[in-house]
Structure 1
C-alpha cells in the first residue's frame, strides 16, 4: 500500500467505506452494460467512494480555488476512475483512483490559468503526464516515479522533472494573504508559515553557478581542486602526489580560485 493510500484510508469518513471495494467492481463487471441493474450498481460504487474524492479535494485547498469547485472536479475524477478501473488486473482500486482523481484536479488548475511563464514544450509534456500517470498506475499498481513517466512518454527525465515543477505555476498568492477552504477554516497568512533562510540554498546556488566554469578548467587545475576540496588533501599532500613543490600547488589554487571568482561574479 502506498503512502497516499494509507493517508486516505486513515482519513476516510466513518460512514460509507471504500475499503475492500473491489468485490463491487467484480459484480459490476459481471453485469452487461445494458442490464437494468448495471447503472444502479455503478451509482452505488460511486456513492461509496465519494469520501475519497472529497478527501483529495481538501488536499488542494488554500491555492486560490473555492472548495466547492475542487470537490466537484474531484468527483468527476472519481467517476472517470470508476469507469476506467479494470479489476481483473489484480490491483486495488485506490492505487488507480488516487492518481486519476488528483490528475483531474490538477487539470482543473491547469485549465484556469498559468501565473508564470512556462515554455510551450513543458506545457505539452505536463498535459501528457496526467494520462500517463493513470495508465502506469493501472499497470504497476502504484504511483509511477519520474523515470518511469519519462520512459512512458519517451522524453528526457529532466523534461519530466521540469514539467512537474512547472505544474505548480498555475496561480500565485500573496504571501501576506490569508487562505481558507471555504468551510470556515481560516489559515494564517502564508508569510507566517514560511521558515527561516536556509544557508545551504546559497551554497547550492553557488555550486550550480561555478559548475560549468570548473568543467572548462585545464586538467591540472581541475585535478588540484578535486584533491583539495573533494579529497580534503593538504597542499603538501597534493604536491607530493603531483611531484611538484607545495609553493606551486599554492599558486595553482590561488590562480584558479581567483579566476573562478572573477568569472562567477562577472
Structure 2
C-alpha cells in the first residue's frame, strides 16, 4: 500500500486523523519535491485545524479577540508541522499541542493584560510558558508547578504566583456580590463605584487618534472603521475587502504598529493612550 495520503479527504475520526498525519509526515520526510512538500504540509495543517481551534477555544472570552486567538493557533500549528522531526517525536499532536498552547500564552502575555502585574511576574511567566511546553513533551502530561520550579531552579512560590497571573486576563465581574443586605440580597461591586464621564475618554481619543488615522491609506482607514467602529469580525472584513481572514489579521497588526509608532513619536501623547493603541 502506498505511503501517500489521500489529499482529498477532510472528514475523519481522531484515529484516522492521527494515522493520516503520520503518513503525510512520513511522505514529507522522503520527498525531494518542494511542491509536494508544500502540499503535504498544507494537508497536515488542514486536517489538524480543528485541534488548533479547540486549544484556542480554551482561551476564548478572556480579554483578547477570539478570531486573533484562532489565527495564532493556526500559525503555531503551521510552524509545528514545518519543524516536526519524526526521529525525535513519535506523535505529531504531542508536539504540536504544547507548541500551540505556548504561542497562545505568549500572545496573552504580549497583548492580553487587563491588569498588568509586576515586570518580574511577567518575565517569570515567559520562562514558565517555555518550560511547560518542553516538560509536557518530556513527561507526556502537563507539568506540575513543583516540576516547573525544579526545572527552572525557581522558588515554588514564585512559580505559583506567576501561574496565578492568568487572572489578570479576566478580572472579577463588577456584578459579583461583595456584601449581603439584611433581607438576604447582595450588593454588587459596581454599586460601590462612582460614575465616570463616558464622553471624556472618547473625546480625548478623537483628538489624539484623529491626525494619525487620517494619515492612513484609504483601505487601512476602512479596515480600522469596520473593526473598531462597526465591530466587524476579521472574516466579515475579509469578505468585504476581498482578502483572506489571515491577511486581515496581518493588516490589522501592521496598522496598529503604524498607529503606535506615530502616536509615540509625539512628545505630548499620553503614555496610556500609546499603550492602548
Q: Name the TM tier (shorter chain).
A: 0.5 to 0.7
- CA change 1:83–1:175 in 2 (3 A) is farther
1:152-206 Cα shifts (integer Å, max 9, x gaps): 2221222112111113313436344xxxxxxxxxxxxxx59xxxxxxxxxxxxxx
Separation (CA, whole Å) in 1 of partners of 2:147 and 2:46: 33
Q: Which residue in 1 is equivalent to 2:136?
A: 137
Higher RCO (Cα < 8 Å, 6 or more apart): 1
| Structure 1 spans left out of the alignment, 5+ residues | 1-12, 177-190, 193-266
1:240-263 Cα shifts (integer Å, max 9, x gaps): xxxxxxxxxxxxxxxxxxxxxxxx
Q: Which residue in 2 is equivalent to 1:54?
A: 53
Post-superposition shift, 1:54?
Answer: 1.2
Asked whether the equivalents of residues 89 and 95 of structure 2 are also in contact (C-alpha less than 8 Å), the reply is no
Counterpart secondary structure, 2:34: coil
Asked whether the equivalents of residues 57 and 70 of structure 1 are also in contact (C-alpha less than 8 Å), the reply is yes
Separation (CA, whole Å) in 1 of partners of 2:25 and 2:110: 31
Separation (CA, whole Å) in 2 of partners of 1:136 and 1:85: 17
Post-superposition shift, 1:93?
Answer: 2.0
What is the TM-score when the length of structure 2 is the normalising length? 0.52
| Residues 1-266 of structure 1: pairs in structure 2 closer than 5 A | 15=12, 18-20=17-19, 21-32=21-32, 35-172=34-171, 174-176=173-175
| Structure 2 spans left out of the alignment, 5+ residues | 1-9, 178-277
- CA change 1:175–1:92 in 2 (3 A) is farther
What is the TM-score when the length of structure 1 is the normalising length? 0.54
User: Which protein shows a greater Rg?
Assistant: 1
**What root-mean-square deviation, in Å, do the aligned CA atoms of Structure 1 and Structure 2 show?**
2.9
